[in-house]
Amino acid sequence: MTDCVFCKIINGEIPSASVYRDEQAYAFRDIAPAAPTHILIVPLKHIGSVNEMTEADEQIVGHLFTAAKKIAAQEGLAENGYRLIVNTNAHAGQTVFHIHLHLLGGRQLTKMG
């Protein structure tokens, strides 16, 4: 997707503060953090949203959670805890239509719901 901001970040066309990369995922610091640690974890494959996932994408999206676990440990968040968020479409707050996890931590987070 040539107009996807996250695809451009993955390809190095837009700079980012990288924290993790493997054969399926890339993670970088959010430019407008909502917590002391706010990292975006994206698949290298472009998938617009959860609604656009196919059964073939299950392994890739599941891998994002494995990457999140590794990143949380690397960032020193695992013991105290962290939050993972996936927004799907505009009403949920998705602004970049390339599926991604928000990893938030580094302070006591407010309760949701």
What DSSP string runs through 31-72? SS-SSSEEEEEEESS----GGG--GGGHHHHHHHHHHHHHHH
Q: What pLDDT is attached to residue 81?
A: 96
- Catalytic option among 63, 91, 98, 100: 100
Catalytic: 100? yes
- CATH for 5-105, among 2.40.50.140, 3.30.428.10, 3.40.190.10, 3.90.1150.10? 3.30.428.10
Side-chain-side CA neighbours of residue 58 (13 Å): 2
Helix or strand holding residue 29 (H, E): strand 25-29
Starting at the earlier edge strand, list the strands of the sheet with 18-21.
18-21, 25-29, 37-43, 101-105, 82-85
Using one digit for the tens of pLDDT, what is the confidence trace for 54-70?
999 999 999 999 999 99
Where exactly are the structural domains of the chain?
A: 5-105
How much is the pTM?
0.94
Query: Does residue 86 contact residue 101 with C-beta atoms inside 8 Å?
Result: yes
Q: Give the number of other Cβ atoms within 10 Å of residue 97's Cβ.
A: 20
Q: In this predicted model, what pLDDT tens digit does every residue of 7-29 receive, in sequence order?
A: 999 999 999 999 999 999 999 99
Pair of tokens at residue 93: 């707050």
- DSSP of 10-27, one letter per residue? HTTSS---EEEE-SSEEE
Identify the residue whose tokens are 């430019």: 31
